[in-house]
């Protein structure tokens, strides 16, 4: 018995000019890797068509139903079969075409297996030869004939795969429609993302204000958006407001300002008392911090007012909140400012929580601000005053700014610990004198830098830059940040 009686010769498409013997076990033509004859031509499905030689004569062509099949210029329906004879032409997809031809080969040597009489069924290739792209009949033996039930199973499998693909396509379309419907709902319901400060888009702001005076010229102002259902509460050195943010006032916005005395406050730096506060909050379970701490400034003019910020989340009653905590010091007090929204709204409100400070520090408070010294000086107030006056009477170009700053901090510390009001007033006067000289010096350097830049004098620009950085770096002064950002504008 011959192993291959027919062949197909492609006359069009990407396989044009190539011929393939049709195995008695059949051939699958498609674009998948598992196809016996693989084509990447336009319109070719993964398993486009199957050719099954019949024991009598001719080839049975089965359309898997995933692409167009034409036999002698007549369309073959999805899942239908068609008998082919030598000379018949077949087109698959848009361009791939072949002609059925007879194919004669020498029978293999050796005894041939006994084959039952003609049953009208196609032959099936043994499992070891499935997936070969071309027939190798010389080494193939022990073929058997497929039953009508097996051929029916093959057709049913192809139909089942087609149904699965159609079902996948249906669900894909359904999911896409759901996404589009959700996008339409968000658009029509005017859900704002990202959330803005009320009045930011229209230009009609309606903000409330609350002023806090901690004494000793510690003046702060809290601003917040007004809303119809707003709730406010104030106390001694504290303020809390629950209002709403967003163009539609649909996001609860909670602001808390709280000041408390720090134990041994005049002996602890801001960083040390901040570390104690975060440790206390986490141990009590009141807050969970979710980012590294960062140093920043309020009222970014001249020296600025320094603070430390950190992200957090917490539970308050039945509500879960997420926001930014701002920690600062004023004399021996710690001030904590919380800006937070419900956790479920943070995904669209993060920018508002971060970008709006909700606090303003009085210029006089910024001007007179000093930090607890890290290096206490074991000198009496009289000697420190003499040293300060000597340094401040020098030309500021040659005076040691770091020494002046250190002396002022220690003088303030001693004056407030002993509650000596005359000494506090004297130290305040010296601090104001130092800050005034700094402002004049820095303004002159900004003008010199701008002039050097206009003349493209890079060496002079570098000199001025390094000189300014050296002066302001140890002072916890916002002008150091401005210089690092290459901002040389004169206030």
> DSSP string spanning 112-143?
PPP-PSP-SPBEE--GGGTT-SS--GGG----
CA distances from 40 to 47, 175, 292 (A): 12, 29, 55
Tell me what pLDDT residue 165 has. Answer: 74
Q: Determine the Cα–Cα distance for residues 388 and 404; give it in Å rounded to an integer.
A: 6
Burial per residue of 330-359, b for 16 or more beta-carbon CB atoms within 10 angstroms, e otherwise: bbbbbbbbbbbbbeebbebbbebbeebbbb
The matching CATH number, chosen from 2.60.200.20, 3.40.50.300, 1.10.10.10, 3.90.1150.10, for 6-144 is: 2.60.200.20
Whole-prediction pTM: 0.63
In sequence order, the β-bridge partners of residue 255 are 241, 339
Query: What is the per-residue pLDDT for 274?
Result: 97
Percent of the chain as helix, strand, coil, to the nearest 5: 35, 25, 35
Q: Which helix (H) or strand (E) holds 38?
A: strand 37-38
Collect all residues with Cβ–Cβ distance below 8 Å to 295 and sequence separation of at least 6: 306, 307, 308
Q: Which of 467, 401, 458 is nearest to 431 (CA)?
A: 401
Domains 6-144 and 207-367 share a fold: no
* Residue extents of the structural domains in the chain: 6-144, 207-367, 381-484
Q: What are phi and psi of 347, to 5 degrees?
A: -60, -30
**What's the pLDDT at 183?**
62
Cα-to-chain-centroid distance, residue 355 = 18
At residue 192, the pLDDT reads 84
Q: In this predicted structure, what is the pLDDT of residue 138? A: 40
pLDDT beneath 50: ranges in the chain:
1-2, 106-146
The tokens for 268 are: 């602890």
The CATH classification number of 207-367 equals 3.40.1000.10
């Amino acid at each position: 018995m011959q192993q291959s009686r027919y062949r197909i010769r492609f006359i069009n498409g990407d396989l044009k000019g190539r011929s393939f013997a049709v195995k008695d076990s059949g051939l699958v033509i498609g674009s998948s890797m598992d196809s016996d004859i693989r084509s990447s031509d336009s319109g070719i499905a993964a398993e486009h068509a199957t050719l099954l030689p019949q024991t009598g004569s001719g080839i049975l062509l089965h359309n898997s139903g995933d692409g167009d099949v034409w036999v002698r210029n007549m369309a073959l329906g999805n899942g239908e079969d068609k008998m082919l004879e030598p000379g018949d032409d077949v087109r698959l997809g848009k361009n791939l075409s072949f002609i059925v031809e007879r194919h004669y080969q020498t029978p293999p040597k050796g005894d041939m297996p006994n084959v039952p009489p003609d049953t009208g069924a196609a032959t099936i290739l043994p499992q070891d030869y499935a997936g070969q792209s071309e027939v190798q009949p010389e080494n193939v033996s022990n073929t058997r004939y497929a039953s009508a039930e097996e051929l029916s199973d093959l057709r049913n499998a192809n139909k089942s795969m087609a149904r699965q693909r159609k079902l996948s396509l249906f669900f894909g379309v359904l999911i896409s429609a759901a996404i589009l419907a959700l996008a339409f709902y968000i658009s029509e319901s005017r859900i704002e993302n990202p959330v803005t400060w009320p009045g930011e888009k229209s230009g009609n702001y309606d903000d409330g204000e609350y002023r806090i005076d901690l004494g000793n010229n510690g003046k702060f102002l809290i601003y917040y958006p007004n809303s119809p259902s707003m709730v406010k509460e104030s106390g001694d050195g504290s303020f809390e407001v629950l209002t709403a943010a967003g163009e539609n006032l649909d996001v609860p916005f909670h602001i808390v300002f709280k000041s408390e005395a720090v134990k041994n406050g005049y002996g602890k730096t801001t960083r040390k008392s901040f570390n104690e506060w975060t440790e206390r909050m986490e141990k009590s379970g009141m807050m969970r911090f979710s980012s590294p701490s960062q140093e920043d400034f309020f009222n970014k003019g001249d020296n600025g007012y320094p603070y430390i910020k950190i992200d957090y989340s917490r539970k308050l009653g039945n509500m879960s909140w997420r926001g930014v905590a701002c920690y600062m010091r004023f004399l021996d007090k710690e001030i904590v400012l919380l800006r937070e929204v419900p956790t479920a709204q943070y995904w669209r409100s993060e920018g508002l929580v971060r970008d709006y400070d909700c606090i303003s520090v009085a210029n006089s408070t910024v001007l007179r601000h000093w930090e607890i010294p890290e290096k206490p000086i074991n000198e009496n107030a009289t000697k420190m005053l003499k040293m300060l006056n000597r340094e401040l009477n020098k030309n500021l170009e040659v005076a040691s700014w770091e020494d002046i700053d250190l002396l002022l901090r220690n003088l303030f510390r001693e004056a407030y610990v002993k509650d000596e009001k005359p000494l506090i007033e004297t130290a305040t006067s010296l601090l104001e004198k130092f800050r005034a000289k700094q402002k004049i010096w820095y303004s002159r350097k900004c003008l010199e830098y701008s002039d050097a830049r206009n003349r493209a004098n890079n060496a002079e620009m570098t000199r001025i830059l390094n000189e300014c950085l050296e002066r302001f770096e140890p002072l916890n002064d916002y002008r150091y940040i401005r210089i690092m950002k290459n901002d040389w504008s004169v206030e």
